[in-house]
Structure 1
C-alpha cells in the first residue's frame, strides 16, 4: 500500500494547526473569528469539533463580535454531550427569547467560511452547519419584511442561498 501524502504546510499554517490542536485539547473546542471587512460581515466558526467530538463544524455570520464565539462554544458543548441539532428546527434555549435554527452548509462555501479548518482537514472532508439567528424583531434573513441588507449581512450558506430545511411550524 502506498503512503498517503498531504501538501506541506507553511510555517504559519503549522502554527495555526498547533494553536487549534492546543485549544481542542484544553478547551475541547477551537473557534476562529474573522473580523468584518469593508461591506462584508464578520463571522466565526469552529475548527476541530468534527475531529474531536464527531459533530459538524459550525459557522455563525453577522453577530456582534462577542456573541458568536459564545454561541459556538454552547453548540459544541451541547453537541459533544450527545444533543443533536436538526436543520430547519427552531431552538429557543440558546439565547433568552431569541430562537435560532441550523442549516447544512454547502461545500462550495467551505473555502470562504472554514478556510483555517483546512489545516486540520486538508481534503475538506467534514460536515458543517450554519447557525442562523433572526433580528431582535424576529426577522430571518429570508423574511420578506427583514431589514434591507440583512440577507447580505447573514447570508444562508446552502447550495441555493435559501433555507433548504426550514420548518417554521416548530
Structure 2
C-alpha cells in the first residue's frame, strides 16, 4: 500500500498513526457547507484498539471532538457501546446513542481512514445526539430539519440495530 501513496498521503497516514498511538485516534473535523452539516470522525481507533471508528454529525465547533475523544478513550479501555443504548455522560448535557454505519457511507464520512485500511476493512459507528429537549432525529416531535442536520448513516437512514421506543431511544 505505501508504495502507491503520494508523499503527501504517506505523511498524512504517518500523522494519523502517530496521533492514534499518542491519543487513541486522530480526530478530523469537516466544516459544514451548502451541501451538508459539519461532522467529526476518528482515524485510528480501529487500528489502535480494534474498536469501531466513530463519526458525529451536526454538532457545534469543538463539541464533535469532545464527543469522539470521550468515546475513543472509554472504548479503548474496554467499555462496550451497544447500538441503541443511551449515554448521558459522553457530552455534557446531551443524550447520545450509537448506531452502526452502513458501508455505503464509509468513503464519504471516513475517507481518511482508508489511508490506514485501504480495503475499508474496519467497523464504524455513528454517535447520535438528541436535542436539548431530548428529541432524536427520527422522532416526529424533533425540530423541523433536525433529521437532515443529523442524518442517520444506515442503509435506510433510520435506526436499524434497534426499534425506537422499544429497545432503543
TM-score of the superposed pair, with normalisation by structure 2? 0.92
CA–CA distance in structure 2, aligned partners of residues 163 and 28 of structure 1? 28
**Separation of aligned partners in 2, 1:148 and 1:31:** 29
Partner of 2:100: 104
Aligned with 1:126: secondary structure? coil
Query: What per-residue deviation string (whole Å, max 9, x for no partner) do you get for residues 97-118 of structure 1?
Result: 4211000000000010000110
RMSD: 1.6
Once the two structures are overlaid, the 10-residue window that deviates more, 160-169 or 39-48, is 160-169
Deviation for aligned residue 1:39: 4.1
Secondary structure of the residue aligned to 2:4 is: coil
Count matched residues: 166
* Equivalent residue number for residue 114 of structure 2: 118
**1:86 alignment partner in structure 2:** 82
TM-score, with structure 1 as normaliser? 0.91
CA displacement 1:35-78 (0-9 Å, x = unmatched): 11124101011111010001010000000120001111110110
CA contact (8 A) 2:41 2:110 kept: yes
Aligned to 1:127: 123
**For each residue in 1:118-139, what CA deviation from the matched residue of structure 2 results, as whole angstroms up to 9, or x when unmatched?**
0000000000000000111111
Q: What are the ranges of 5 or more consecutive residues in structure 1 without an aligned counterpart?
A: none
Task: Check the 8 A contact 2:36/2:149 in 1, yes or no.
Answer: yes
Q: Does 1:168 align with 2:162?
A: no
Structure 2 Cα separation of the partners of residues 6 and 160 of structure 1:
35
Q: Which one of the candidate residues 12, 35, 41 is aligned to 2:37?
A: 41
Instruction: Verify the 8 A CA contact 1:134 1:140 in the aligned structure 2.
Output: yes
CA distance in structure 2 between the aligned counterparts of 1:47 and 1:120, rounded to whole angstroms: 8
User: 2-side partners of 1:36 and 1:15: how far apart?
Assistant: 25
> Segments of 4+ in structure 1 off by > 4 A?
none
